[in-house]
Amino acid sequence: MSESDLSSQLVLGGGCFWCTEAAYRLVPGVMEVESGYAGGPGGAPTYEQVCGGATGHAEVIRITFDPARVTLGQLLDLFWHIHDPTTLNRQGADVGTQYRSIILATDDTQRAAAEASLEQAKATWGDGIVTEITPLTTFFPAEAYHQDYYARHPEAGYCQVVIRPKLAKFARALE
């Protein structure tokens, strides 16, 4: 049996993919996290095209996980702790449709789990959640310089001011 037979994938976006990638790398049972683009029509976009807003894609991450160690439900629950799902097309100072809150379901089981998770999240966030739940059509990996950005540049200003506090908040959610 191959490693892919023992793992599952989840694609979601909650603002800048540098932030969400760094957070999910902390989760036991997560085997890989890859930054990328999804949620829009058309072929493989560049970062500049996505930032321009014309592609319709969001900055997302693709999480490969071992369901024997971490469940889809647990990963979705953590999603609501790493970002603000009530701000349309923005997270903090990051503004644009590429920063929207989105869960891209790979199948009906994931869609049902995402919808159930959203309903549970309303206990914390209320009815103002703007998170999209939509089918995943295609995931496009981001350029190499975006991958594992926080680990490679922990002293960069954005990493210190934006990502590090999010990781601290996320670590508390993991406890």
Q: What is the pLDDT of residues 112-132, one digit of tens each?
A: 999 999 999 999 999 999 999
Instruction: Give me the CATH topology for the region 3-165.
Output: Peptide Methionine Sulfoxide Reductase; Chain A (3.30.1060)
Q: Which two tokens stand for residue 116?
A: 């159930």
Q: Would you state the torsion angle of the CA atoms of residues 109, 112, 118, 119, taken in this order, to the nearest 10 degrees?
A: -140
Selecting among 16, 19, 51, 159, the annotated active-site residue is 16
Give yes or no: 19 in active site: no
Domain boundaries, the chain: 3-165
pLDDT score recorded for residue 6: 54
Q: What is the pLDDT of residue 2?
A: 40
Answer with the residue of higher pLDDT: 173 or 145: 145
Please provide the average confidence, as pLDDT, over all residues in the chain.
93
Can you tell me the distance from the alpha carbon of 77 to that of 70, in angstroms, rounded to the nearest whole number? 11
Nearest Cα to Cα of residue 143 among 65, 54, 41, 48: 48
| Confidence (pTM) | 0.93
Cα–Cα dist 72/147, whole Å:
23
What is the arithmetic mean of pLDDT over 86-93?
93
In this structure, the strands spanning 8-14 and 58-65 are antiparallel
Average pLDDT over residues 30-48: 95
